[in-house]
Amino acid sequence: MHIDGIDKAVQKINLDFAVGNGQILKGKVVNIISDDKVEIIVGQRQLTATVNTRLEWGRDYLFQVKQHKEPPVLQVLNNGADQDNSTQFEVRQMMNILKLKDDPVIEMLIKSLIKADIPITRDLLLSAKHLLAQSHSLESGIKTVEWMVRHRLPLEKDFFQSVESLFQEEHLSTHANRLLHQMMPMPNRTNAMMALARFLHSLPAANHESSNWLDMLVNKIGFQHENLLSSFASNNKGNNQLNETLKSLVLKLIQDTETPSQLKPAAEMMLKSITGQQLQMVSNDETLVQLLMQLPIRSKDKFDNVSIYWEGKRSRSGQIDSGNCQIFCRLDLNQLNEMLVHIRIQKKNMTIKIHNNYTGLGTALRKWEDLLRMRLEEAGFRLVSLSQVQLEEGKRDDILTDMIIDKSHLDVKI
């Protein structure tokens, strides 16, 4: 599973934007304060605004921001009537207002941004169109643009390519398998190739006994690569060497003039995948931490993918509160097939729900429950419940949304 499955759920509760002059946005009137002041909802954000005409409660309107102040001044662009409220009508109206020529790509982009409740400007559309010309596909390119706007990343080529890699079907584990498959038969392997191959085989395996194997894996991949480089350059006064990471070794492979040309496309895709995951870890919310990681787990002579979504609170000092969080994992296993694991932790009380259809799983859970409870108590946690739920066909996205949208267990205002 690539990022899109979980991101569809996350975006429903994580859309924030800064109101700016010239933006066109679609909102529903939820409260009429006076003839010229209303409260509207755009996506999940509610704002109070001054308007230039009387509006009706409960209707959807197109607005353009005329003055960015408190409250913002909005010009109403349509009358909210049903016949004038079709998406195609709104697209044509926006293109006229923004003085854009007929362009099917721009039209598709506007439709998607309206659906995603993202404010639109002329500059946004033109910058996005330029990036879409370099995209693998129009669909993944538009998803990437939406994601970048929601996360307030600049619409630049390098960012776009790294983020778009997250919307591809191939995981980091796929890139690792491909690189190893390409390198192994080569008779004259360079130092950079051998260093990368040794490092990949040193990554923690699925049956690793260490209690902190996940931390080890995350650190080895290099998600903190740039931070470590900066800290190392500032504090290193001797001849100490910075520990290698998967990212640093892939960079060396790409930059090495002796690297065979047929290896570089796979190496570049791996680098984009790591960088894309780093970018999606950037958050505008000072209190809520959301991390989505795709990790290559070594299993015998190949790598399998594990997707992990972690959500929790951050204290005023910036520390992550591991005693109040939720964790979601998706695994593809040889015998158990697809498995969704949902872990909720509140005040260090833990509930674990496993979505899987294997008939013998319940027996195995009961067998290992006491050992799991003991290990958790040693780490300072209390197991409240461990249960199996049937994974209904075609219901995965609904389960994801229910897991992520439900905020009842987190003391965080969104």
Tell me whether residue 117 is in a domain.
Answer: no
Smallest Cα–Cα separation from 306: which of 402, 213, 190, 199? 213
List the strands of the sheet with 337-346, edge to edge: 288-299, 302-314, 320-333, 337-346, 349-355, 382-389
Structure tokens at 76: 């109403």
Report how far apart the first and last C-alpha atoms of the chain are (Å, whole number). 26
Domain of residue 332 covers 315-414
Tell me whether residue 378 is in a domain.
Answer: yes
Enter the pTM of the model: 0.65
Residue 4: per-residue pLDDT: 45
Tell me whether residue 401 is in a domain.
Answer: yes
Residue 241: per-residue pLDDT: 58
Q: How far apart are CA 125 and CA 91, in angstroms?
A: 12
Tell me the C-alpha to C-alpha distance, in Å, between residue 67 and each of 26, 34, 119, 121, 413.
17, 19, 15, 14, 28
Q: List all residues 6 or more positions away from 298 whose beta carbon is below 8 Å from its beta carbon.
A: 200, 201, 203, 204, 205, 206
Look-up of token digits 């951050």:
314
On whether the CB atoms of residues 37 and 50 are closer than 8 A, the answer is yes
Tell me whether residue 396 is in a domain.
Answer: yes
Tell me the C-alpha to C-alpha distance, in Å, between residue 320 and each of 15, 48, 203.
22, 33, 25
Tell me whether residue 329 is in a domain.
Answer: yes
Count how many domains the chain has.
Answer: 1
Smallest Cα–Cα separation from 199: which of 180, 212, 182, 185? 180
Q: How far apart are CA 7 and CA 14, in angstroms?
A: 10
Residue 206: per-residue pLDDT: 66
Tell me whether residue 322 is in a domain.
Answer: yes
Tell me whether residue 271 is in a domain.
Answer: no
Question: pLDDT by residue for the chain (414 residues), tens digit each?
Answer: 344 444 444 444 444 556 778 889 888 899 999 988 989 988 767 888 898 888 889 888 889 898 878 888 888 887 655 444 577 888 888 899 899 999 999 999 999 998 888 889 999 999 999 999 988 788 889 988 988 887 777 888 888 887 787 676 678 888 999 999 999 889 889 999 999 999 998 888 766 666 677 778 888 888 775 555 555 445 555 445 568 899 999 999 999 999 999 999 999 989 988 888 887 776 656 666 777 788 888 877 788 888 787 777 777 776 778 888 888 888 777 778 888 888 989 889 999 999 888 888 889 999 999 999 999 999 899 999 999 988 877 666 666 655 554 443 333 322
CATH code at position 414: 3.30.750.140
Tell me whether residue 373 is in a domain.
Answer: yes
